[in-house]
Structure 1
Amino acid sequence: SPAMVIIVSITAIASFATPSFDMAISARLIRFLFMIGAATFGFYGIILCLLMMVVHLCGLRSFGVPYMAPFAPFIPVNNVDTVVRLPWWTLRQRPRLITANTIREGTNQHPHPPASRGMVNGDFEEDNNNEA
């Protein structure tokens, strides 16, 4: 079927982009499942396999945190810096899935330049004269 040809060609091209042998084995198993779904039900089989894979990924947990953490259990407070990453010191709350203590410690966490700015202010020669 035409859907089977498309799936086989996409998976063959994608197999050359896999950097790890261990990851290639799991991708090969998933590829066979998608080929069986495409051969059995056509395009609906591809969509069905894709939905089953997404449901499986949403059910996984890694170290007690859901695998699809920023998106699957959607908590708007946790998605503040998902698309555009803000500086770490501007974030006031920790993600709610990781810990019950959501408030970060410290109020003035801004990074500061070093106290000595001799090269910037033109005091570099004076610093060298004092060392000699």
Structure 2
Amino acid sequence: MTNQSGIARKFYEERHVRNLHERMSRELKGFGAHINAFEFCPHHPDGLIERYRALCNCRKPQPGMIRALLERYPVDIDARFMIGDKQSDLDAAQAAGMPAYLSMGVNLHSFIVRLLMDRSPA
């Protein structure tokens, strides 16, 4: 789930983002991993492309992308959380009613293991 305002600002096209997601899926498949959905917001209020020039509810820190995913996929509400690398990620999660954690370039696997250990009941 990512903001991709570069689409609205003519830096790249939606197809480029989709191609990146396809490549990520192929590479992750080699490790036995799978991503159910990729979400991105192509909008920006100052976009150069009119159809993407918008204030929308999917651009983080708004919770639209999170809410769309929660409607599409059954999730154990008590077990869900979000990991982000920007404050807007945390703000979007909070607006959607879920806890969020900031990951600052650490090893993601170690970060998640430590996070899950801290969240588990004693």
Larger helix proportion of the pair: 1
TM-score using structure 2 length = 0.34
Larger strand proportion of the pair: 2
TM-score using structure 1 length = 0.32
Larger radius of gyration: 1
